[in-house]
Amino acid sequence: MTDTDTAAGSAVRGGSPDSAVDRVADFYGAYIDAVDDGTDDLGTQLRAHYLTEDLRRRLVAWEEANHADGVLRAQDVPTHWEVRYHDSGAGHLFTTVTLTWGTGPDAGHTRLAVQSDLSTKLISDIEDATAA
């Protein structure tokens, strides 16, 4: 949120540690900040805190094959992110993360399907939303 957003009376962001959706939003917000700031060790620490060990292993393999960040599915840092509840079932919660690349009418978007385990609230899968 920018100072302009606050001055314009935009909604204040909130969250709950009990909400898997909020945890996905917290992770993406903090992770994008860390990557944008060039704080590699913080990104690794955030992955360790918010992602399952299995997903972290799969992301390393994905990143080696694709030469890109597996959390963002890109080599660059998005200019905006948004997280929306999608569905839940069988012990999982599914969210759609929309990443915006650039600004203005030419901005591009990537949608990711993110799965969280309800018992631990850890993110257990990240895929392109079109592939999910």
Give the pLDDT band (50/70/90) at residue 17: confident
Measured between alpha carbons, how far is 105 from 130 in angstroms, rounded to an integer?
A: 22
Q: CA 14, 12, 48, 118: dihedral to nearest 10 degrees?
A: 30
Residue 9 within a domain = no
**What would the mean pLDDT of 34-44 be, rounded to a whole number?**
92
Domain count within the chain: 1
pLDDT at 12 over 90: no
Residue of 37, 33, 57, 80 whose CA lies nearest to 126: 57
pLDDT at 54 over 60: yes
The pTM score is 0.88
Mean pLDDT estimate for the chain: 91
Domain of 83, CATH number, reads 3.10.450.50
Residue 2 within a domain = no
Measured between alpha carbons, how far is 60 from 130 in angstroms, rounded to an integer?
A: 21
Measured between alpha carbons, how far is 34 from 130 in angstroms, rounded to an integer?
A: 27
